Amino acid sequence: MRALRSVAVSIALLVSSLTASAEDLSSKIKKAVGHVTLDQSGTKPFHLKAEVAPSFERDKDSGRNGEIEIWWSSPARWRREIRSREFHQVEVFNDGRVWQKSEGDYLPEWLRQTAIEVVKPVPPLEDVLTHAKGAEVRTIGPMVNLNWITETGTAEVHNISRSYVAISAQSGLLLYAGGLGWGCELAWGKDSKDAINFHGRTIARRVNVGSPQVTATLVTLEDLGEAPAGFFDATIQGGDPQPLRTVLIDERSLRKNLLPADSPPWPPLQDGPLQGNVTTTIVVDREGKVRETESMVSENSAINEAGRQRILAMRFKPFLQDGMPVQVLSQITVPFKTTRPAGTETFDSARSYFDHGRRVTVLASGTSTPYVMRADFVARGHDGNEGTGKYEDTWIDNAHWRREATFGNSRYLRTRNGDQRYEQGDGPDVGLLRFVFKTFEPIPATDTFVESDWRIKRETVNGVDAIRVLAGYESPEGKLDPEQARGYWFDNSGRLLKTYLSGLETVWSKFEDFGGFKVARQMDVLNNGKLAARIQITEITQAGHVRDGFFVLKGHEWQRAFTSEER
């Protein structure tokens, strides 16, 4: 049930517009970034050591394990040692001079970027402050989120790059930030041990970087002390004649060095869009070979692996800066166009399954008869004790309805009266009550998802033939990632049989008739196969007269945003 409570909180973040001025917001961002940045004037000299490893079990064999150690005297005087399985480098920076000694001819980007992010979470701060003035700004639950779009791509293939910053509305601390070639998440957690107070700076003990994501865990952060003689000397003999550098360039500049090559045909796709673009971030080494790609983004995720292989096979003329070959980091976009495989079943779009499934599964979407539906649910509250809650849904039409859930001393309501929506929540178990709302109507609204995220296939649910619509990571053995995977199983009539959301499986059963509509009277929420909560509909009747003001919650006006729920 601990997982149930945390999921319930995360799926129902409250959203409102931020009214702060652009100048005030820029000041808050500058303060938030400055508070967590070690690599800046005024920081006490420090010695830092971090261990780097894949954040998720699924990436444990990615080879992204390493160590970072930094001895920092000032922004103009520091020494850094980074190490992975295939690369080791010592770098000294002293008053504009750089000395390097590398073992290996390629500096992995995930290691380079992580080494920067642990001391400077927002390297392009001035650029971020400039864009913040025109960014889209929202307050999402406990955080303030900014994001903006930069036009990228080429004249032939249009593309965009999205940048973002989030700060805590309560503490003012930086939560996460990112853009092309930079970005991290500061994993503050809830334990005081997750943060280190270093002479007035608040430093996250764990920093998440990249995709596939790695986590840098700080094992040492202490005062520098006295350094050995020559420790920061950038003029000593024995360094590399050509220091390794990684340079960020735009896609147009990248493509100027692309060598012509024959490309194999795209594989046929069983479902989803047949044409579009595959986009990712790549790193090209000093010889012109693509060495790393980030996660693929496309109109059809089934084409992503083929897109990755095509991009990895690209070759470029070496990139030169000041006459010296450098590694380059850039975004690249590849168009694809393919066909359906011969003799295989063709599925509809995810949108069509969701639209039809909502009409035959969710009573408020599939009936024209005003109703009152009541239900009981058994779950564990924030204190770990099991209890029984109540849920009631009064629906007159799509513009007049009221949903209410209670559990112990907690109460949560959403209503609609014409064009105005309302939301109110009180008590320690509001997160659980939001989760109950989501369980009753789990199918995502069609204006909140990307078609290309979803994969469709046939499976069975308790012996019933079903269509599975799934997004997120699935292992070769069929295990779904609890943090990323979202799945919906529909029978041949379109009724929802099962969902998988945030690691919790919900099974719908005991379908009974209400005015020609088949209603699932029971929903069992399972956590690792064990019953975590049970919801049972106890009564469905036709709605009669409702009192004036029943659908109005004065002082609790709400604008639907950043939620996948229809109601």
Eight-class DSSP state of 156: S
Residue 223 buriedness (CB in 10 A; 0-12 / 13-18 / 19+): exposed
The dihedrals phi and psi of 500, each to the nearest 5 degrees, come to -135, 110
Rounded to an integer, what distance in angstroms lies between the CA atom of residue 204 and that of residue 195? 5
In sequence order, what are the beta bridge partners of 173?
Answer: none
Query: Does residue 6 have a pLDDT over 60?
Result: no
Instruction: Look at residue 1 and tell me whether its pLDDT is greater than 60.
Output: no
At 246-298, the pLDDT tens digits run 999 999 999 999 999 998 999 998 777 888 899 999 999 999 999 999 989 88
Q: Give the mean pLDDT of 355-362.
A: 94
Chain segment 52-63, per-residue pLDDT in tens:
999 999 899 999
Rounded to the nearest integer, the mean pLDDT of the chain is: 90
Q: Does 350-558 match 246-337 at the fold level?
A: no
* Model pLDDT, residue 390: 97
Instruction: Give CA–CA dist 166/211, Å, rounded.
Output: 18
- SS3 assignment, position 353: helix
CA 139 vs CA 31, 165, 166: distances in Å: 18, 12, 9
Tokens of 220: 């040492």
Give backbone dihedrals phi and psi of 164, rounded to 5 degrees, phi first: -160, 155
Q: What span, in angstroms and rounded, lies between the C-alpha atoms of 415 and 553?
A: 8
- Cβ burial of 207 (10 Å; 0-12, 13-18, 19+) is buried
What's the confidence (pLDDT) of residue 349?
86
**Cα 59 to chain centroid, rounded:** 16
Q: Hey, which bits of 210-289 come out as E strands?
A: 214-223, 246-248, 275-284
CA 449, distance to chain mean position in Å, is 13
Q: How confident is the model at residue 3 (pLDDT cuts 50, 70, 90)?
A: very low
C-alpha to C-alpha distance for 99 and 499, rounded to whole angstroms: 56
How far CA 98 is from CA of 75, 157, 487, in Å, comes to 13, 38, 51
Q: CATH 2.60.40: does it fit domain 350-558?
A: no
In the predicted structure, residue 224 carries a pLDDT above the cut 80: yes
In the three-class reduction of DSSP (H, G, I as helix; E, B as strand; rest coil), residue 159 is classed as strand
Average pLDDT over residues 376-398: 95
Band the pLDDT of 191: cuts 50, 70, 90: low
Please tell me the predicted confidence (pLDDT) of residue 192: 63
Residue-wise pLDDT tens digits, 21-48: 456 788 899 999 999 999 999 999 999 9
Q: What's the Cα-to-Cα distance from 45 to each of 25, 61, 135, 226, rounded to whole Å?
A: 30, 36, 35, 10
Q: Can you give the residue ranges of every domain in the chain? A: 14-223, 246-337, 350-558
Identify the weakest region by mean pLDDT among 147-161, 246-260, 266-280, 423-437. Answer: 147-161
Q: Quickly list DSSP for 388-454.
A: EEEEEEEEEETTEEEEEEEETTEEEEEEEETTEEEEEEESTTHHHHHHHHHHHS-SPPTTS--GGGE
Q: Is the pLDDT of residue 535 over 80?
A: yes
> Residue with structure tokens 């994001």?
147
Most distant CA atoms of the chain, gap in Å = 90
Higher pLDDT, 270 or 405: 405
pLDDT value at position 109? 96
Mapping DSSP to helix (H, G, I), strand (E, B) and coil, where does residue 562 land?
A: coil
User: What's the pLDDT tens digit per position in 487-533?
Assistant: 999 999 999 999 999 899 999 999 998 888 889 999 999 999 999 99
Lowest mean pLDDT across 83-92, 137-146, 359-368, 526-535:
137-146
Task: Write out pLDDT tens, residues 94-106.
Answer: 999 999 999 999 9
**Is the model's pLDDT at 5 over the cut of 70?**
no
Residue 237 class from Cβ within 10 Å (0-12 exposed, 13-18 middle, 19+ buried)?
exposed
With 80 as the cut, is the pLDDT of residue 430 above it?
yes
Q: What is the pTM of this model?
A: 0.70
CB distance 203 to 36 below 8 Å: yes
Q: Which of 6-15, 112-121, 374-383 has the lowest mean pLDDT?
A: 6-15
Q: Does domain 246-337 have CATH number 3.30.2420?
A: yes
Contacting residues for 399 by C-beta, under 8 A, at least 6 apart: 416, 417, 418, 419
